[in-house]
Amino acid sequence: MDKLTMLSHISLFDELSKEELMTIDKMSEMRPVKKGTVIVSPDHPMEALFLLKQGQVRLYQMNEEGKQFTMDILVDGNIFGETGSVTLTDDQIYAEAMTDTYLCLLSHNDFENFIEANPKIALKLIDILSSRLKDFYSFSEKIALRDVKHRLLYLLLMLSEKTGHRKNNWQSIEMKLTHQDIAHMIGATRETTSTVLSQLKKEGFLKKVRYFSVDADKTKEYLGLP
DNA sequence: CCATTAACGAGCT
DNA sequence: AGCTCGTTAATGG
């Protein structure tokens, strides 16, 4: 369905059996989180695993001047956090709820016990981590060090694949975003973002219907993505 | 190429 | 009235 597999795009829900899921579900603690809440930051590293039940969470990094850069958007079924031995995110990463969100919290101990009881899960984790590493290489090579146009297109494509649906080439982004929001996510200014957005509209990468829609094929070709 | 600065109208609170 | 937002344009790194 969604073929842009990204760093920390982990859908354990896809890979676990029903029973395994039930076990995790029983052990985990449900927690609602309001939109805008910073769930994890370098100041408050959480020794736990988060299962994202419902909502959207943005993973980003920030430099000394407070400029942000969005690494990934997580949606229902993704998993993130750290558990000592296994790090599913970076320790310098921030996680912020973009919408009202339901999280399940799994403690370090519970997770390790679960792995001991279900060795197959360890193998799946290796798969997940190695594919994340691969995605990260591709990501940094093709996007991270490139200009605002690339970063912006990449973000919009990612957002559309996570939140929207596809009609012909056009993938919608079902999210209310100001130019300022977008600028923060790609480490650019509001002005530049505004300029590049209208440029992309002229060039046919983008159109505005309700929120935004991107021409997915055209964008992927431009970014050199499969 | 892009941040910065400035400036302006529109819209929201 | 004052702030946020989108937009354009000049300048300079």
Q: Quick check: A190 CB within 7 A of strand C?
A: yes
- d(CA A153, C1' B12) / Å: 29
Our CA angle for A151, A94, A70, nearest 5°, is: 5
Return mean pLDDT, chain A.
82
Q: Are residues A90 and A39 in the same domain?
A: yes
Query: What pTM value is reported for the model?
Result: 0.82
Our measurement of CA A10 to C1' B4, in angstroms, reads: 39
Q: State the nucleotide closest to A208 in CA–C1' terms.
A: C6
> For chain A, how far is it from start to end, CA to CA, in angstroms?
14
Q: Do residues A13 and A65 share a domain?
A: yes
Answer yes or no: do A22 and A121 share one domain.
yes
Q: Are residues A40 and A7 in the same domain?
A: yes
The 10 Å Cβ neighbour count of residue A218 is 15
Residue A36: Cβ-neighbour burial (10 angstroms; 0-12, 13-18, 19+)? exposed
Residue recorded with tokens 């999210």? A175
* Domain housing A166: 148-223
Q: In what order do the strands lie in the sheet with A38-40?
A: A38-40, A94-97, A57-62, A68-74
Q: Using alpha carbons, list the distances in angstroms from residue A66 to A62, A73, A94.
A: 6, 19, 12
Closest residue to B3 by CA to C1' distance? A189
- φ and ψ at residue A7, rounded to 5 degrees: -60, 140
Q: Is the pLDDT of residue A83 over 60?
A: no
Domain co-membership, A125 together with A155 = no
Separation CA A28–CA A116 (nearest Å): 17
Beta bridge partners, A50, equal A80, A105
Looking at per-residue confidence, does A51 or A153 come out higher?
A153
pLDDT in tens, A113-126: 888 887 877 787 78
Domain endpoint, select from A136, A163, A196: A136
Q: Is the CB of A189 under 7 A from strand C?
A: no
For residue A165, is pLDDT > 50?
yes
Q: Does residue A226 have a pLDDT over 70?
A: yes
Of all nucleotides, the one whose C1′ comes closest to residue A191's CA is: C7
Q: Is the CB of A61 under 7 A from strand C?
A: no
Check whether residue A22 and residue A98 sit in a common domain. yes
